Amino acid sequence: MSKNVGGNWNAVQSNGPIVNFRLQQNDDRLQGVGTHSNGSVSGTGNGSVSDTGFLFVIDWSNGSKGEYNGSFGLDGRLTGITFDRNQPDSQATWHSTKVFES
């Protein structure tokens, strides 16, 4: 059983950007789009979700490839680490503004 992360929600990054995800979920598989920096950066990606974790990789229009790894806290929010797969030293923490139900 996986949590439902489909729909429209935000991830707040520790380095400033707020990412808006619009995800479609089919069982544990994810696909969707994201935007940040007031919509000036956008991208498409895919990933997976379980009852405990989240992984989404997005190809951003600025050339970066963002990987978002997260886990669900007791409050139902996702928290994790994101980094650019092209520059793995470029990392930030992130958290969802939405609470997710099973």
Confidence band (pLDDT; 50, 70, 90) for 62? very high
The tokens for 70 are 């997260």
Q: Which helix (DSSP H) or strand (DSSP E) does residue 4 occupy?
A: none
pTM, rounded to two decimals:
0.95
What superfamily does domain 7-96 belong to in CATH? Quinohemoprotein amine dehydrogenase alpha subunit, domain 2 (2.40.128.120)
pLDDT per position as a tens digit, 27-50: 999 999 999 988 899 999 999 999
For the chain, the domains span 7-96
Residue (of 93, 97, 88) closest to 10 by Cα position = 97
Kindly report the number of other CB atoms within 10 A of residue 3's CB atom.
Answer: 19
Residue (of 45, 97, 99, 48) closest to 72 by Cα position = 99
Confidence band (pLDDT; 50, 70, 90) for 101? confident
pLDDT per position as a tens digit, 65-93: 999 999 999 999 999 999 999 999 989 99
Amino acid (one-letter) located at 6:
G
